[in-house]
Amino acid sequence: MARRALISVSDKTGVVEFARALSARGWELLSTGGTHKALADAGLPVTAVSDVTGFPEMLDGRVKTLHPAVHGGILARRESGHLGELAGQGFSTIDLVCVNLYPFRETVARGAPDPEVIENIDIGGPAMIRSAAKNHAGVLVLVDPADYALALQDEVSAADRRRLAAKAYRHTSEYDAAITAYLDGTSDELPTALPGHLSLDLTRAAQVRYGENPHQPGAIYRWGAARGPVIDAQVVAGKPMSFNNYADADAAWALCAALAEQEAQTGQVACVAVKHANPCGVALADDVKTAWERARDADTLSVFGGVVAVSAPVDLGAAQAMRGTFLEVLIAPEVTPEAAAWFAEKKPDLRVLVAAPARNVSVLDVRPLTGGFAVQERDARPWDDLCPETVTTREPTAQEWFDLRFAWAVVKYARSNAVVLARSGVTVGLGAGAVSRIWAAERAVANAGEAARGAVLASEAFFPFDDVVRLAASAGVTAILQPGGAKRDPEVIAACNDLGLSMVFTGSRHFRH
């Protein structure tokens, strides 16, 4: 008896060629719907599943393979009484199941209405895949076109059959996780985006040599159908990305994109240098070359070995301006061919990325704990959502307002406790990751030196005492932005008034642990 292959795929990559090769080897082809049409149009002998079951497709195609003639043929153990029982019902075995599922995630990703999304929840497909995977000793199960060639071998080893079965279950589990996430996120009964059960649909997107340190294995994973600016970036020059490169480039691009959006009306270019996930030099300017030079000069020591993001295309002149600084990664929305060629020749170790548009990015921020995860919504509150209030006698000048808004954007992306000093659209001093707010301020002031005179200061959380105000005033800072809300706010405001500083409360903090 000829071996039988049931083929029913949404992703039709290579399926006609695969079916033709099976047919040439004597396999009988069974199929459904659009796949049946594609194979028949290619001139292949193919039997409709409805002819096997004796029932037509029903309910607009919702029911077509859910029948004992299909699942009995898949699930029958080859070395048992199952074959006789199967024959007694007039059914035959199915020896290969080639199925991939309705494009549920892709339908969600393009913003389809809910009824269309629900119709793209596959029922028969997962049932066939799971049946074939359970009986993998006798049935080949294929969910990925990359495995078609393996199925054309004369013999497929038990180890390969088991690997294909594991891949099949992974395929259906990821599919179910995507459906669960969608339904949890759209239920009218859920008051927030944080359901009682949270499924993380993760697929490895990139392999790296190791994690944060050489003794730690590491890899980069995609969440569902999301596209990320760094995960999906085009590498136009340089070496492969490392684990830490991904993390730092993502942090740099996030701040760069936020500044570009905030300053869209001014048309200025943002340049962000990051070291160990913290900004170390940030600047705005009218062009990429100038923005880079200002960001570099903000902290020439820390930028060494750093990761840089810019919000506008990098041309040859901007590329050549980076000649004297060792960098790990440069990411931009575009890199001209001349600039890419120059980087490849002159800075072959520099990874040069063209950022991909972000798409379907989760609103959740997930962080590991021992035995679990801490999950929250991302801190995505923009400046325009705040109601900044001047709480001192002196109102900030127009330039101070500009710099306060700029410093507030930067301090949001620095690890707490964090303080940022800025002047004329450039960070002149940063203190991040300190265990005391005054220590963060002292570090920022020390880094700034004389550049602190005429600068503004932003803190991502409130001041418990007036010590930061007095330190800032002694360094020449003229205006301060902070959330407010501390018990000693009156004392802090009074100190500002005594010292002639302006102070603005945002009413919103930005802890980043």
DSSP string, 31-93: E-HHHHHHHHHTT--EEEHHHHHSS--BGGGTBSS-SHHHHHHHH--TTSTHHHHHHHTT---
Residues 335 and 415 placed together within one structural domain of the fold: no
In angstroms, the CA 328 to CA 305 distance is 6
Instruction: Assign 191 a pLDDT band (cuts: 50, 70, 90).
Output: very low
Residues 492 and 390 placed together within one structural domain of the fold: yes
In angstroms, the CA 418 to CA 436 distance is 9
Count of CA atoms in the C-beta half-sphere (13 A) of 134 = 13
Q: What is the pTM of this model?
A: 0.76
Q: Which of helix, strand or coil describes residue 490?
A: helix
CB atoms closer than 10 angstroms to residue 319? 26
Residues 321-342 have a mean pLDDT of 95
* CB burial readout 9-42, b (16+ within 10 A) else e: bbeeeebbebbeebbeeebbbbbbbebbebbeee
Say what angle helices 124-134 and 68-75 make with each other, to 10 degrees. Answer: 20
Instruction: Assign 189 a pLDDT band (cuts: 50, 70, 90).
Output: very low
Instruction: Assign 187 a pLDDT band (cuts: 50, 70, 90).
Output: very low
Residues 404 and 271 placed together within one structural domain of the fold: no
Q: What is the pLDDT of residue 426?
A: 97
CATH for 500: 3.40.140.20
Per-residue pLDDT tens digits for 356-384: 998 878 788 899 999 999 988 888 888 88
Q: For residue 492, what are the domain limits?
A: 384-505
Least trusted range by pLDDT, from 198-207, 349-358, 407-416, 436-445? 198-207
In angstroms, the CA 347 to CA 319 distance is 10
Per-residue pLDDT tens digits for 219-258: 999 887 788 999 999 999 999 999 999 999 999 999 999 9
Residues 65 and 175 placed together within one structural domain of the fold: yes
In angstroms, the CA 93 to CA 77 distance is 9
In angstroms, the CA 253 to CA 332 distance is 8
In angstroms, the CA 204 to CA 227 distance is 13
Report the catalytic residues. 134, 276
pLDDT for residue 83 is more than 70: no
In angstroms, the CA 493 to CA 485 distance is 12
Share of the chain above pLDDT 70, in %: 91
Q: What is the pLDDT of residue 91?
A: 67
Residues 123-144 have a mean pLDDT of 85
Residues 28 and 140 placed together within one structural domain of the fold: yes
List the structure tokens of 478.
Answer: 């003229």
> Is residue 220 classed exposed, middle or buried when 0-12, 13-18 and 19+ CB atoms within 10 A define those classes?
middle
Total length of the chain: 513
Query: Which of 260, 261, 263, 233 has its CA nearest to residue 249?
Result: 233
- Residues 313 and 334: beta-carbon distance below 8 Å: yes
pLDDT for residue 190 is more than 60: no
CATH for 114: 3.40.50.1380
Distances (CA, A) of 141 to 11, 27, 74, 234: 15, 15, 10, 33
463 found inside a domain: yes
Instruction: Assign 55 a pLDDT band (cuts: 50, 70, 90).
Output: low
Residues 16 and 144 placed together within one structural domain of the fold: yes
Per-residue pLDDT tens digits for 265-317: 888 999 999 999 999 999 999 999 999 999 999 999 999 999 999 999 999 99
| Chain centre distance of CA 69 | 43
- Residues 232 and 358: beta-carbon distance below 8 Å: no
Phi, psi dihedrals of residue 321, rounded to the nearest 5°: -70, -20
In angstroms, the CA 304 to CA 497 distance is 40
Per-residue pLDDT tens digits for 14-32: 888 888 888 888 888 888 8
305 found inside a domain: yes
Residues 82 and 11 placed together within one structural domain of the fold: yes
Residues 112-128 have a mean pLDDT of 84
Q: What is the pLDDT of residue 136?
A: 86
| DSSP characters over 379-447 | ----GGG---EE-SSSPPPHHHHHHHHHHHHHHTTSPSS-EEEEETTEEEEEE-S-SSHHHHHHHHHHH
Residues 347 and 390 placed together within one structural domain of the fold: no
Beta-bridge partner residues of 285: 269
Query: Which of 368, 359, 373, 374 has its CA nearest to residue 211?
Result: 368
Helix (H) or strand (E) holding 335, with range, is: none
Instruction: Assign 40 a pLDDT band (cuts: 50, 70, 90).
Output: confident
Residues 336 and 442 placed together within one structural domain of the fold: no
Q: What type of residue sits at position 418?
A: A
Phi, psi dihedrals of residue 182, rounded to the nearest 5°: -65, -50
In angstroms, the CA 291 to CA 310 distance is 8
Per-residue pLDDT tens digits for 419-446: 999 999 999 999 999 999 999 999 999 9
Instruction: Assign 69 a pLDDT band (cuts: 50, 70, 90).
Output: low
210 found inside a domain: no
Higher pLDDT pick, 84 / 186:
84
pLDDT for residue 64 is more than 70: no
Residues 333 and 396 placed together within one structural domain of the fold: no
| Chain centre distance of CA 409 | 21
Under 8 Å CB-to-CB from 145, ≥6 apart: which residues?
11, 13, 14, 15, 18
Q: Which of 90-104, 180-194, 495-509 has the highest mean pLDDT?
A: 495-509
Residues 72-101 have a mean pLDDT of 72
Residues 11 and 113 placed together within one structural domain of the fold: yes
pLDDT for residue 157 is more than 80: yes
In angstroms, the CA 256 to CA 161 distance is 47
498 found inside a domain: yes
141 found inside a domain: yes
pLDDT for residue 459 is more than 80: yes
List the structure tokens of 463.
Answer: 């001041």
Question: How many structural domains compose the chain?
Answer: 3
193 found inside a domain: no
- Residues 433 and 302: beta-carbon distance below 8 Å: no
Residues 114-123 have a mean pLDDT of 84
pLDDT for residue 401 is more than 80: yes
How does the average pLDDT of the chain come out, rounded?
Answer: 87
Q: What is the pLDDT of residue 39?
A: 84
Q: What is the pLDDT of residue 424?
A: 96
398 found inside a domain: yes
Residues 335-341 have a mean pLDDT of 96
Higher pLDDT pick, 43 / 405:
405
Residues 33 and 149 placed together within one structural domain of the fold: yes
307 found inside a domain: yes
